[in-house]
Structures are given as structure tokens and as C-alpha cells.
Amino acid sequence: MNNIFQIKKILKEALSQAAKSIEPSLVDVENQIAIEIPRDVNHGDFASNLPLLLSKQLKESPTAIAAKIKSHLTLPLLPDTQITPMGGFINFKISNELLAESLFVALKLNQNYGKTDLLNGEKVLLEFVSANPTGPLNVVNARAAALGDCLSNLLEAAGAIITKEYYINDAGVQSKLFAESIRSAIRRSQGIKADAPEGGYQGNYIDDLANEIIQSEGIKEFDIQELSKIGIDIMVKWHKQSLEKYGVYFNSWFSEYEELHRTGKIDQVILLLKQLNYTYQLDEACWFEAKKFGAEKDEVLIKKDTNPSYFAADIAYHVDKFNRGYTKLIDIWGPDHHGHINRLKLALLALKLPVENFNVLIAQQVNLLNLGLKIKMSKREGNFITMDELLNEVGKDAARFSFIMRGSNSHLDFDIELVKKQTMENPVYYLQYAHARICSLLKKVNDKDLPRKFENFLIPQTIEVEERNLLKAILEFPYWIYDAAIFYEPHRLVNFLHKVSAEYHSFYSKYRILDASSESMKFRIILSSGIEIILKNGLHLLGISAPEQM
RNA sequence: GCGCCUGUAGCUCAGUUGGAUAGAGCAACUGCCUUCUAAGCAGUGGGUCGACGGUUCAACUCCGUCCAGGCGCACCA
């Protein structure tokens, strides 16, 4: 059985052998050889740049070297592979029989096709959304949620063990301000004149919150501490509900107050930094000497009011993540936090933790547009668009897809009216339609038309280019999952699935399937089944439904 | 002022950790439904990849300097 990773490995080793037999003194060729999947089908299924690499060392032209390599190259494990030197590259075209193997594997593994164990059970903590529990989730949270959830699926499919965690920011002065804002709302609901506190929270949701509290607790004079806890609990419940509607579920909800403040873990971390001599006292505050690690300025760990800063809590939080046994930490933050990345890494560095295993992705800002006009949003005035509203407007699949189809670093323009209005032309439907088309086709197939054992089915002697491209897509599928996972870029898989859908649509319009010749028909049916599997599995990894009819 | 992100077709964005002729969707224009789903297919037009240098056999990709836009730079989180 040959999968794409094995084929690449075989090619690499064979090339390296050939290079060494040409010039035994060559060292470290294996690591320099790149085996890539060419964009242009005329360049074969795989290509290597080895001749170009050796050209300088061997003082010969790349084309001469390519010819030499070809004469020294043997591929017993990949029979009937065409080797074509071409302008400094060596192109490989594997046999149709070999290609078809991946189709049979896909049919056999079905919903498990595409999964690998390449990440070898690595324990990953993926923290995302983690919105302040003082207001509803917004569109950037929606973007982070889609990204995080999808990334988690991909990493899992590539063999990692993922914990999805939501950090509840339930300590600090904001939660007090939040409680005071609720108290004012409760009073207002009783007809008592009460404005929101200075810099406090406004918006309809505060009144909704007040009403819910009155319903469950009755009317009384609340202690601010108590009210803060009640309010945050409800807010977190709302967040959870919004996320579930969006298809995003967390394994762990981590309370800053309970897990870090009350357990003394923050104090411990500060003490550790003190013992390492990276702190000093100034203006009644305790500072971390970030400058010693190249930062522009030092950072406060303990504030004048004796409470730990957000920074101190975050250090303790990430130390705790490592202590819980995770070997890789991934955080997805909003664009307004990017300035925080460096100082947190410096603190972890000071504590001698493996900073290289800590990665922060930024879910960049989302400009909401309404038919090309930018919607002004202000949290202060409570007129921002929430994640719930977005979901109600455009639906789960279109919303998730719109975020996932682009890199997380791009500053996204999201035109609500466009996504809503053009639902028929939205790219998400293009993929789903390809899937639905195949399902509808397969429903019409009689059992007698299907070969009983796929493994023994021989593919036709000659096949169309379009058919070959589809076989190749099935072969490549696991690679693109792995690729998207390790680069933390789900949109790479989206691009691949879009390409596959296009190839299938094209194939479907050009050729008859059900009333083709008997041999062709059987092949086209099982080929379509294979494509159905990768589209279905791919869409599921993206957290998008794969409808059987549309 | 310093830092991060972004700059690719009219618009929104891809571009496989430096590869071969820079791609897709939308918008515009031409064709294609008595036959498996036209939410589709086939095709046309549209680009000095922000600018200028540098490294390399090879640069949209890496480095440097600028230009433009966005966002950060609290004892807020």
C-alpha cells in the first residue's frame, strides 16, 4: 500500500541514491531535495529540483545532470513510473494502477480516509475565543471560533490529541464595572433612575441580563461581588449557547479566578520571577524586567492596589498549561492583543519554558460591510453586531466558510448583504453542490453495477485526463489535511477542496456516468464514490455540513 | 516615535515554508439544459504582484530602505 507520504519518501530516497552514485562526495543531499506537487499537470504528479541544486556543486548544466540522474534512478517500489527530465527539474508521473490504489483505500476507510498519525499523539492545548464575559460574542470571536474549531479538527486528523479550552476572564476591575452596570440596569427596571457607571457597559444585553437575574434571584440589594459572579455565569452560559449554535464545543472552560487567583498559582509564578531576580519594586508596584530580554519597557506584575495584573495572570495561565503536560500550546487572539504576544513570550523565556512550542495566531479584524458600506461599530454604545446576529443573518455554513476560506492574517471584508444575497453563488455552495450531485447520482446506482470487491477491480486501460485528475486528488487529500494542520492554515484545505469540486463539476458535465460503457460506468461510479468521501470528510473537518441533496 | 498585520485583475482574496506560462470567486461579455441536480459547464477580456535596491541558477515569496492603509504601545483585559 502506497500513500502520498510514502511515495514522496521513496522518491526522495531514490533521488538521493542516484545523486550519490553520480558524485559520492556529496553530503546532506536528502535534506535539500524537495519533492513537490506541481501546479501544472504537464509537469507530472511529483517534481524535484535536484538538478538545479547540484548544478553548482557539480559544475554542469542542470539539464545534463537531470539526464545523468535519470540514468541512475531506479524505482522498484513504484513500478511503471515515468521519469522525465525537464528544464532542470525531474518530473515523475506514477502509473494509473498506483494512483487507483488510493481510491480503494479511500473506499475502504470511508469516513476515516484522510487521517494520519503523523503528529504522533502530540498533546496540544488550543485556546481560542476566550472573550471577556462582559458582553456578547462579536464577529471577530466568530472568526476565531471557526478558525480554532477547524484547526482542532485538522490537528486531530493529523494525529495530535487536542484540548479546546476557553479562558474565562472573571477577575479584575472590568468584572466589577460589569456588575455595577448590571446593578444600574436592575434599578432602572424598577423605575429607579440609575445611569450606567462611568466607563461602564451599555446596550440591550445588559437589560436582558438584569431581567434574567431578577427572574431567578428576585429583587434584592445585591452585593457587587455576588452580582459579578451571577452576571458572568449567565454571560458564559450565553457564550456557550452561541458557540453551540455555531457547532463549536470546548473541552475545557478555565476560570481565571478559580484556577489561578484562588489556587495561588499567580503568586507562585511571581515568586519564581522574584527568585530569578527579574523583578523590582517601583512606585508601590512590582515590575518584571522585560528589558533584560530585549523589550522596550518593563511590565507590571503586581499593581499598586496589590492585585496581580492581567499580564501576571496570563503568565501563570501559560505556565499552568505547560504544567498540565501539553507539549504544544496554540492561542488564537484578537487583533487588539498582538502587542501582548512578545512580552508573554519573554516572561516564559525568563521562566525557562520552551517558548518555541507556544504559538499565537491572530484572528485579524473583520470589517463588516453592508452593500459595500462600512458598518461602524462601537461596543460602548452597544450597536455592534453580535455573533448570534451574524449567524441568524447568513447561517452557520456560510459564516464559517467565509472565515475559514481566508488566511487568519488577512484583514477581512465581510459584506453581510452580499453573503446573504448571493447565497446561490457563495463558494460554500459550490463545494456542497458537488457533494450533493454525487450523492444523487449514487442513489440511482443499482447494486449490480458496483464491483463487489473494489480491491480486485481493474481500472480501464485508458482513462480520461479528468478521471486521472480526480484519482490524483484522492491520493493528495491526506497530504493537504496534514499541510493545513501543521501550518495552522485551514484555508489551504479549502483551496484544495475547491479545486477538487471544480474538477468534478467539469468531469460531470463532460462525461456520462450511468450510461457509459459497462467498464467505464463501473469505474466512474467508484471514482465518484471516492470523491464523495473526500468532499464529505473535508467539509466535516471544516465544520460545514455535507448535504446529500440541495 | 516604536512594534505587529496588510498591499497581487474593476472588487474580495489564493498562490503548496524560493521553482517551470501568477490563479479563483464576484462583476462584464459569448455560448451550453427533450438525457445522471444549470447552486453547473465551456470560453473571452482584464496584471509593470505598492516602489526602489540586494541575495540566488531561479523572487509574489527571503533581506534592506521607503510609500500607503489597519491595529497596538495603561498599574484595562
DSSP assignments along A64-118, one per residue:
HHHHHHHHH---TTSTT-EEEEETTEEEEE--HHHHHHHHHHHHHHGGGTT---T
Q: A284: which nucleotide lies closest, measuring CA to C1'?
A: B75
Q: What are the beta bridge partners of residue A254?
A: A167
Predicted confidence at residue A445, as pLDDT, reads 87
Q: How far is CA A520 from CA A94, A239, A307, A404, A517, in A?
A: 21, 52, 74, 37, 5
Q: A366: which nucleotide lies closest, measuring CA to C1'?
A: B70
Predicted confidence at residue A1, as pLDDT, reads 53
- C-alpha A45/C-alpha A24 separation (Å) is 29
Q: A337: which nucleotide lies closest, measuring CA to C1'?
A: B72
Predicted confidence at residue A287, as pLDDT, reads 97
Strand B: positions under 7 A of a protein C-beta atom: 2-7, 12-17, 19-21, 24-27, 35-42, 56-57, 69-77
Å separating the CA of residue A321 from the C1' of nucleotide B15: 36
Q: Give me the torsion for CA of A493, A495, A498, A504, rounded to 10°.
A: -80
Inter-helix orientation angle A465-486/A518-541, to 10°: 20
Predicted confidence at residue A195, as pLDDT, reads 85
Predicted confidence at residue A396, as pLDDT, reads 93
Q: A340: which nucleotide lies closest, measuring CA to C1'?
A: B72
Nearest-CA residue relative to C1' of B76: A174
- C-alpha A285/C-alpha A155 separation (Å) is 42
Nearest-CA residue relative to C1' of B4: A338
Q: Which helix (H) or strand (E) holds A288?
A: strand A285-288
SS3 A164: strand
Nearest-CA residue relative to C1' of B20: A87
Nearest-CA residue relative to C1' of B40: A505
Å separating the CA of residue A299 from the C1' of nucleotide B72: 16
Rg of chain A over all Cα atoms, to the nearest angstrom: 29
Question: Residue A269, Cα to own-chain centre: how many angstroms?
Answer: 31
Predicted confidence at residue A167, as pLDDT, reads 97
- C-alpha A503/C-alpha A497 separation (Å) is 10
CB A279 within 8 A of CB A222: no
Burial of A212 (0-12, 13-18, 19+ CB in 10 A): middle
SS3 A464: coil
Predicted confidence at residue A373, as pLDDT, reads 75
Closest by alpha carbon to A15, among A36, A29, A1?
A29
Nearest-CA residue relative to C1' of B14: A495
Q: Pick out chain A residues at pLDDT < 70.
A: 1, 376-384, 421-425, 448-449, 452-453
Å separating the CA of residue A447 from the C1' of nucleotide B2: 69
Å separating the CA of residue A201 from the C1' of nucleotide B17: 44
Å separating the CA of residue A504 from the C1' of nucleotide B31: 21
List pLDDT tens digits, range A466-506.
Answer: 999 999 999 999 999 999 999 999 999 999 999 999 999 99
Predicted confidence at residue A421, as pLDDT, reads 67
Å separating the CA of residue A173 from the C1' of nucleotide B76: 8
Å separating the CA of residue A476 from the C1' of nucleotide B43: 29
Å separating the CA of residue A429 from the C1' of nucleotide B25: 12
Nearest-CA residue relative to C1' of B13: A406
Nearest-CA residue relative to C1' of B77: A310
Per-residue b or e along A149-162, where b marks 16 or more CB atoms closer than 10 Å to that residue's CB: bbbbbbbbbbbbeb
Å separating the CA of residue A319 from the C1' of nucleotide B61: 36
Nearest-CA residue relative to C1' of B5: A409
Predicted confidence at residue A248, as pLDDT, reads 97
